[in-house]
Amino acid sequence: MPGFPALLLFLSLLCPARAGGLSLSPEALDSLRSAKVADREPALRELGDDPSDAAAELLEALCAGDLYVRRDNGDLLILRPGADEATLVPGGGRMPFADRSLLRKVGISNSRRTAVTAVLNRRLLRHADADVRRGAVESLRDDAAADKELLLSLLQNERDGRIRARLEQLLALLCVRDAAASRDELLRAAAVLGGASLPHAAQALANLKGHKDPLVAEAVDKALYRLRVTADRAAMLETLFFGLSLGSVLVLTSIGLAVTFGVMGVINMAHGELVMLGAYTVWGMQQLLPGRPGVALLLAVPASFLVAGSAGALLERSVIRHLYGRPLETLLATFGISLILQQAVRTLISPMNRAVESPAFMSGMLHITDNFSLTCNRVYILAFCLGVFALIYATMHKTRLGLEVRAVAQNRPIAEALGIDASRVDTLTFALGSGVAGMAGAALSQLTNVGPNLGQSYIVDSFMVVVFGGVGNLHGTLCGGLILGLANKLLEPASGAMLAKIILLTALILFMQVKPKGLFPERGRAAEN
């Protein structure tokens, strides 16, 4: 029968599957048209009994506030936000419709909306797609009314292991709450809940604490202990992650300094302002490419390297070059430049913070477990930090430029005698360190406010990281930054953010008085002069 598929296609065109096949009594339709939200009962009753997809769509539209009634002829139609095509109810015919002033929204009371959502969700529990099913099961967690029969029937038909585990946990929760549960049931439930990550599990178990049956009481205690350990571990992991994240920011801001100060020995107090320039590059790039923050951010990373790098090269050529061998003077001159740059940004752009958009891929969370999730932007910045570090490390140790830089740093006259253009190397090194500072700024623009004072807040920290790690090597800066970030976040819960910072600074000051050369002191002849 070759005509049969064609006929099916024809039929499906005639009555679109989305809202087709829906039949509502006139009474139900009138209840939807009514201006009073309390009149919806007949329609809700009929739709709740209807297993069709069309009924589900109508209910969903009702809950989402996308169901409208036309003021002129009383037609009911579903109009999604932003769409210019409406679906007629019932019947499912689609028609272009843009004039929303003709429409009145069909409202629904909050209590009915909750009930309807539960009904809709229950339909999804038997959806063919395992991911949809899992989502539905997971949203059951707070649904105290989830009945045992339903869960048991679901469990029977379920093959997906994770969904089964979740269903078993929900059953265990019901069992623990059930006053009539037997001892064996309770014991099994406690064991299941001990490994569960349901938000209400701890509360439900705590209600059973000191149960008259010693075996049950013991099992409950054990389960509660396991839950607490998991929660503590998640909190610990979170602290560690935040510590690493802060550490990565510190490393990013100080790695350029590790090149200019650590390797070249130039004190650049304008380093923070180079970071600021990088952050403003992101802002500028987003102004150039409005509406595409992701592309702008990706383009801004190399751009910020170029902007800050050329600013650094200019700085080296015009000022720092004339002050080599006079570190204290370099410090003062670059401090002056940092003031000029700050004020320039204030005057030319604005004294206020600029809003930098976060592209979609930077926002959002990574859920590792139910108790532990990571913010995406911090994960990316951690990865970015490691990438930049690897890049700089490779540049310093695997390329010709790096070789020349190290040669000039170790013994300038001999390096020059061997044909290295030392002054060119100086400029390039300084530009490299400054460019990395700019890239750090690009990353920071995703975490903090972009304003004229951005650099100021990092300059003391960056110098501390470099000196703490040991001047003259890059891995010291990496270790130093991560250690300081971790220490800061580990201290914070006990002492508060401000005090943690003060304690850490004090500890660093004391550390440097005992070991002025830092964690990884330079050794050998180069360290002596």
Q: Which residues in this chain contact another protein in the complex, by CB under 8 A? A: 264-265, 267, 319, 321-333, 335-340, 342-344, 346-347, 409, 412-413, 460, 463-464, 467, 498-499, 501-502, 505-506, 508-510, 512-516, 529
User: Which residue lies nearer to another protein by CB, 227 or 459?
Assistant: 459
Q: CA dihedral in degrees (348, 352, 358, 362; nearest 10)?
A: 110
User: Which residue lies nearer to another protein by CB, 38 or 498?
Assistant: 498
User: SS3 for 326?
Assistant: coil
Q: How many C-beta atoms lie closer than 10 Å to residue 205's C-beta?
A: 25
Smallest separation (angstroms) from another protein to the CB of 480:
14
Q: How many C-beta atoms lie closer than 10 Å to residue 45's C-beta?
A: 12
Smallest separation (angstroms) from another protein to the CB of 271:
12
How many whole angstroms separate alpha carbon 171 and alpha carbon 193?
Answer: 10
Closest by CA to 330, choosing from 272, 266, 274, is 266
User: 357: which DSSP letter?
Assistant: P
Smallest separation (angstroms) from another protein to the CB of 513:
4
Smallest separation (angstroms) from another protein to the CB of 312:
16
User: Which residue lies nearer to another protein by CB, 366 or 460?
Assistant: 460
Asked whether the beta carbons of 439 and 303 are under 8 A apart, the reply is no
Asked whether the beta carbons of 86 and 93 are under 8 A apart, the reply is no
Smallest separation (angstroms) from another protein to the CB of 272:
11
Asked whether the beta carbons of 62 and 109 are under 8 A apart, the reply is no
User: Which residue lies nearer to another protein by CB, 343 or 369?
Assistant: 343
User: Which residue lies nearer to another protein by CB, 438 or 472?
Assistant: 472
User: Which residue lies nearer to another protein by CB, 377 or 429?
Assistant: 429
User: Which residue lies nearer to another protein by CB, 35 or 498?
Assistant: 498
Smallest separation (angstroms) from another protein to the CB of 101:
51
User: Which residue lies nearer to another protein by CB, 378 or 489?
Assistant: 489
How many whole angstroms separate alpha carbon 463 and alpha carbon 453?
Answer: 17
Q: How many CA atoms lie within 13 A of 186 on its CB side?
A: 25
Smallest separation (angstroms) from another protein to the CB of 168:
50
User: SS3 for 92?
Assistant: coil
Asked whether the beta carbons of 68 and 103 are under 8 A apart, the reply is yes
Smallest separation (angstroms) from another protein to the CB of 326:
4
Query: What length is written for the chain?
Result: 529
User: 89: which DSSP letter?
Assistant: E
Q: Where are the alpha helices (DSSP H) in 258-375?
A: 271-288, 293-318, 327-348
CA distances (Å), origin 409, targets 397, 402, 420, 473: 13, 10, 12, 12
Asked whether the beta carbons of 519 and 471 are under 8 A apart, the reply is no
Rg (CA), the chain: 33
Smallest separation (angstroms) from another protein to the CB of 509:
6
User: Which residue lies nearer to another protein by CB, 198 or 333?
Assistant: 333
User: Which residue lies nearer to another protein by CB, 46 or 273?
Assistant: 273
User: SS3 for 88?
Assistant: strand
Smallest separation (angstroms) from another protein to the CB of 393:
21
Bridge partners of 76, per DSSP, are: 69, 89
